[in-house]
Structure 1
Amino acid sequence: MLELKPVLAQQSMVIPTHYPVMVIGGAEDKVNGCAILNAFFNSAGGKMATIGVIPCASQEPSVVGDRYYQIFKGMGATQVQILDIRQPQECDEERWLDVLSNCTGVFLTGGDQLRLRDLIGGSQFMTSIKQRIAIDNLVLAGTSAGAAIVGEKMISGGSSGDSPSQSLVDLTTGLGIFPDLLVDQHFHNRNRMARLMSAIAAHPDKLGVGIDEDTCAAFEDDSTFEVIGKGTITIIDPGKLTHTNYLASGQSSPLSLHNLTVHILSQGDRYNYQQRVVLPAPVMPRR
């Protein structure tokens, strides 16, 4: 087994807030402060947590699953279960549904979001996860591919660095945990601004959310999320969009998008994704 030595939860900053869903841009810190993973661990119950790791997006699920097993056991979780699902039909088997029913937190690893969607999408397993999130009975976190999957529409691939165009992004159906959001990950690290803008041109009813590596949109119960981590989260809001030539453009023709609203959020910033407003910073008490 891999021998990682993350900072133990009791040695790091206590994060009292409970986050029902955590959407991570990938490459989260696994060996130093582990701020994001500790926030998930604490939200799931801390030392009382039973955590299920779903590594099936990866081409090496055993290796990836063991890596997170080591991390969460090192933090002191009561149990860590690896839900090594290899075929879609397994998602409706009692063995995995029973394991899931005992979990207080579920972690979706990185890999290929299409593979992840095809394995668990539309299953009784995924339905149970959504139902338990809705009644605040389960904490869900997803990193990289596990982040891309949360919208009703999902970016499954594409290119980086060019001007926005239809050919820059591949779109398909996601898991619909947050139907109004369209998420991209490894965002500034892989120069994906134009890719997310292209996706929003195709679906201007959605809210674009681009999450950097080692950065997390930590969702709360009141339609808001808080930024945790070292990078930024980019919001692309087409709510006031006045024009796009998406329908009339060719596959490789540059796209026009007029009157987009863009926000760049960093550590501690909070955003209401239903009202589409940045929330004011909390007022610190005077000493």
Structure 2
Amino acid sequence: MGTEVRVPTLGESVSEATVATWFKKPGDRVAADEMLCELETDKVTVEVHAPVAGRLVEIVAPEGTTVAVSALLAQIGAAEAGDEPAPEKTHAGAEAKAGAGESKMIDVMVPALGESVSEATVSTWFKKPGDTVAQDEMLCELETDKVSVEVPAPAAGVLAEILVTEGTTVAAGSKLALISSDGQGVAAAPKAETPKKTEAAPAQEPAPKKDVEDAPSARKAMAEAGLSPDAVQGTGRDGRIMKDDEARAVSGASQAAAPAPAP
């Protein structure tokens, strides 16, 4: 049975994109996570990677086609026995061995963030290690100076390890997490990355924010709540206000406004 390649989530308020370039053609062999095509939206350029290794059987949406989120782009079939190029035989053998008794780990990578955008901040993780995830299910949200970018699961499985904690700044193409295709190896996943949150945590002294642009989702939420940015303590890079900061400020204001219980 073939594996479907679908349009990933494209960011906040973006519902469709145009297929700009295919880097593979039907019949080509592809490796897991190898870039297949590039999509263009009004805001960002999004790379689409192969969810599994195999052979590109069919391109459903050719270049120039406008596609919606989750639309079918292509089909990947299993590679035919004996047709692997010599340099790839060792890799193919390793995959077969992994399928026989070892857990196959799939990388979750930072997607392309758009033109002239090279880094983002991990805003929110919606899953934790040990959780079962479906292919294309949203794992986390990244914030840049321009847009919020949702990161979907490249394959179904179990979230084995989160490599980058919330509040950490990451570059395009960085590894965010690992998904175990069969759920093995989750308990043994190291948690040495936990101290990174301390490294990424802002200094206690509030950083001047006059030259720092707050996250788009946070600005929208503050406007809807009628909250001034001066009343929110930002935990992002250089004191940048993230969506969670706005939520904490609103919660604190609600508790402060609650009437004291009668004696």
Give the TM-score normalised by structure 1.
0.24
Higher helix share: 1
Higher strand share: 2
Greater RCO between the two (CA within 8 Å, min separation 6)?
Answer: 1
Greater Cα radius of gyration, structure 1 or 2? 2
